Amino acid sequence: SAGREGYISKTKTVCTYCGVGCTFDVWTKDRHILKVEPEHGPANGVSTCVKGKFGWDYSTSKDRLTSPLIRENDALGNTFFREASWEEAISLIAWRMNEIKAQHGPDALAFVISSKGTNEESYLKQKLARQIIGTNNVDNCSRYCQSPATQGLWRTVGYGGDSGTIKDIEAARLVLTVGSNTAESHPVLATRVKRAHKLHGQELIVVDLREHELAQRADVFLRPNPGTDFVWLNAVSRHILETGRAHQDFLDEWVNGLDEFRASLDGYTLAAAEQQTGLTQAQLRDLADRLVAASDDPQRGGVCILWAMGVTQQMGGSETSTAISNLLLLTGNYMRPGTGAYPLRGHNNVQGASDFGAMPDMVSGYQKLSDEAVRDKFSRAWNCEIRAERGLDNSQMIDAAVSGKLKALYLTGEEMSLTDSDSGHVANGLGALEFFVVQDIFFSHTAQFADVVLPASPALEKEGTFTSTERRIQRLYQVMPPLKGSKPDWEIYQLVAQALGGDWNYSHPAEVMAEAAALTPLFGGVTYERLEGYQSLCWPVNADGTDTPLLYTEGFAFPDGKARLYPATYVPRTQPPTAEFDLHLNSGRMLEHFHEGNMTFRVEGIAARIPDTFVEVSPELAAERGLRDGMYVRLISPHGAIRLRALVTDRVSGKEVYVPLNARASADTVNFLTGQGRDINTNTPAYKDTSVRMEVLGER
């Protein structure tokens, strides 16, 4: 815990950037971070990436909020924010929420939970929404990233999480990554893959639009046409079936639905796939051969498939995720070490935010609100009436705000106005709200739309747990006390709940975890004692404390224990290039920065190294347009325009352009270009289904 004044102390924490879940000791003297040192964390051993090692100065930045702020208008109608006491801000929130609920009903309010907050904080905020306000309008930022992957896994194998741990990925005979810039987005995990590839003969196949670092190291790099992953996945499945190389014993014993699945592959011939994907029939045959050979290796693990936003942020992201899981089932790549499905989670606790109930149709542990027994259990425990109807997800909240149905939003720790798709539409929604509360550590771009801004404390200043992409629950300890004027999110939720009449008296996040565990079979045996220090637990955790690093060893998470091959549907792009918008726009992360950059631009060393964003342009396109490296361009889509410096690189090819998510000037953030298309099942924005045109501006 936080050290005594003037002394050097060492405290364990968990990284607050990506979902790999690296853990370290942080050495501090008062509020000075002296060094960050990995100490054999379960996910990272002694490794860190640049963000985990050097990316902590945002916590001690002079930009931190230290007082609640309330929006006011002066006599001339100009808007400004004035500092207010916590008492005033909390009573204003309670008064406005009560008023809006009384006038328009509970569903006029909505709650967005931070995937950077702890599990306990996710649990408390959804409890606040459901118990005290009475709405299921609750969501988190997995809506922007991995909800489609979760859907694909629910359909086929039962749990939405990664089927094993990083150790399994390391032990695989073959790793296939699809639409994942792993080396930059999940750096330490990628290091483990690179090591297995280099030292242990692991085969590595990368399928992506960009030839990024991992692609350059791969044994095979395939570059299909944008939005066609579903097609090559199904064609490979069909080819394996047709050539009699499916894993028949595994299918007989553990899998339902083979006939329907086979029928759904009708039309996915290699020839048809070649036409649509641009991959040759020889490449597809070779891919199938490699997958089958690796699946049959009795000496070591089989195939692990890793995927990320390149797959999920499409109109058919959940269908393609389903196709990935189908291919793994067909080749018998579940249930044993070194196999399985690995959607890589983006934020440090995006897994935990969903796990602990920040979803519009489920409470903690994916217990469905449509199930009467679940509603009864929570209604009794929380002494309220839990409703069955699905609430609004993030995307629907913005639509409902634009249409005037949603009146109030309480948002924590999300830069929604820059990270949701079609920033212009989001601004219209946020601007139309009658009452908007933003809780964050900085005055974010989104905060400019707020009526009340509450200063929160970052992870170094609080206790709790995070859950990584491995489903691994880990404790973080308070490294330093909250900056004067700020409070941990869980304390703020408690103040709001109490002001609204809730009987909440938590004195430590451990009590919140105890309550959540008692109500949630998935976390039955989770206690703070079992998570002491560097100990961790991968859910499901039984009441006796045994955890489950590898899922499905005794069957799949369905009543009959069998997995399901699910006939999925191809959803083609809706915004292919046209004469007016002739380039495909791709976007994503870069190693040094995280998302929009609110944290990493406040780390001096990182900001100095990568001071701004850029657009990657292929040498062919640059030559065609008379564009030189370093010149400025304007990218224009049907939704907006942004100005960027061009980086000419052969990482991208042809008419493909790539823009990292982080931008120094908010107005030049890539999501001013992306549209309102959404995955057909989960409403995840189809960020990757965007076409633009490019105007060359010159040297400035």
Interface residues toward ligand SF4, by CB under 6 A: 15, 17-18, 20-22, 44, 48-49, 51-52, 186-188
CB of 284 to ligand SF4, least distance (A): 32
The CA distance from 465 to 482, in Å, is 17
CB of 527 to ligand SF4, least distance (A): 24
- Residue 18 or 236 having the CB closest to ligand SF4: 18
CB of 48 to ligand SF4, least distance (A): 4
DSSP state of 41: B
- Residue 23 or 690 having the CB closest to ligand SF4: 23
C-beta of residue 553 within 8 angstroms of C-beta of residue 335: yes
DSSP state of 146: T
CB of 206 to ligand SF4, least distance (A): 18
CB of 253 to ligand SF4, least distance (A): 37
C-beta of residue 698 within 8 angstroms of C-beta of residue 632: yes
Q: At 434, list the tokens.
A: 């009658």
**Strand, coil or helix: 367:** strand
Q: At 416, list the tokens.
A: 């929604």
Q: CA angle at residue 323 from 213 to 176, to 5 degrees?
A: 25
- Residue 20 or 363 having the CB closest to ligand SF4: 20
HSE value, Cβ hemisphere, 13 Å, CA-based, for 357: 27
- Residue 44 or 264 having the CB closest to ligand SF4: 44
**Strand, coil or helix: 8:** strand
Tell me whether residue 407 is exposed, middle or buried, using C-beta atoms within 10 angstroms of its C-beta: 0 to 12, 13 to 18, 19 or more: buried
C-beta of residue 493 within 8 angstroms of C-beta of residue 128: yes
HSE value, Cβ hemisphere, 13 Å, CA-based, for 336: 18
For 624-651, give the DSSP string. HHT--TT-EEEEE-SS-EEEEEEEE-TT
CB of 567 to ligand SF4, least distance (A): 36
- Residue 188 or 288 having the CB closest to ligand SF4: 188
- Residue 22 or 174 having the CB closest to ligand SF4: 22
- Residue 35 or 508 having the CB closest to ligand SF4: 35
Tell me whether residue 7 is exposed, middle or buried, using C-beta atoms within 10 angstroms of its C-beta: 0 to 12, 13 to 18, 19 or more: exposed
Element of type H or E holding 13 = strand 8-14
CB of 442 to ligand SF4, least distance (A): 19
- Residue 180 or 264 having the CB closest to ligand SF4: 180
Expressed in percent and rounded to 5, the helix, strand and coil fractions of the chain are 35, 20, 45
CB of 53 to ligand SF4, least distance (A): 7
Which one-letter amino acid corresponds to residue 315? M
Which one-letter amino acid corresponds to residue 625? R
CB of 185 to ligand SF4, least distance (A): 8
- Residue 508 or 609 having the CB closest to ligand SF4: 609
- Residue 177 or 417 having the CB closest to ligand SF4: 177
CB of 351 to ligand SF4, least distance (A): 12
Rounded alpha-carbon distances, angstroms, from residue 334 to 118, 298, 655: 30, 14, 38
Edge-to-edge, what's the strand order for the sheet holding 32-38?
A: 8-14, 23-29, 32-38
Q: In whole angstroms, what separates CA 60 from the centre of its chain?
A: 25
C-beta of residue 669 within 8 angstroms of C-beta of residue 642: yes
- Residue 51 or 197 having the CB closest to ligand SF4: 51
CB of 15 to ligand SF4, least distance (A): 3
CB of 441 to ligand SF4, least distance (A): 17
Give me the torsion for CA of 305, 309, 313, 317, rounded to 10°.
10
Residue 540 preceded by cis peptide, ω within 30: yes
Q: At 496, list the tokens.
A: 């709001």
- Residue 470 or 668 having the CB closest to ligand SF4: 470
Q: Give 38's strand partners.
A: 24
C-beta of residue 676 within 8 angstroms of C-beta of residue 562: no
Which one-letter amino acid corresponds to residue 51? K
- Residue 40 or 700 having the CB closest to ligand SF4: 40
Number of helices and strands in the chain (H, E):
24, 28
Residue 577 preceded by cis peptide, ω within 30: no
CB of 14 to ligand SF4, least distance (A): 8
The CA distance from 529 to 526, in Å, is 9
CB of 46 to ligand SF4, least distance (A): 12
Q: Which position's Cβ is nearest ligand SF4?
A: 52
CB of 648 to ligand SF4, least distance (A): 28
CB of 353 to ligand SF4, least distance (A): 16
β pairing state of 408-412 and 203-207:
unpaired
Residue the block writes with tokens 């976007």: 587
β pairing state of 109-113 and 408-412:
parallel
- Residue 52 or 677 having the CB closest to ligand SF4: 52
- Residue 52 or 338 having the CB closest to ligand SF4: 52
CB of 410 to ligand SF4, least distance (A): 28
Residue the block writes with tokens 């089989």: 302
Residue the block writes with tokens 């790999």: 20
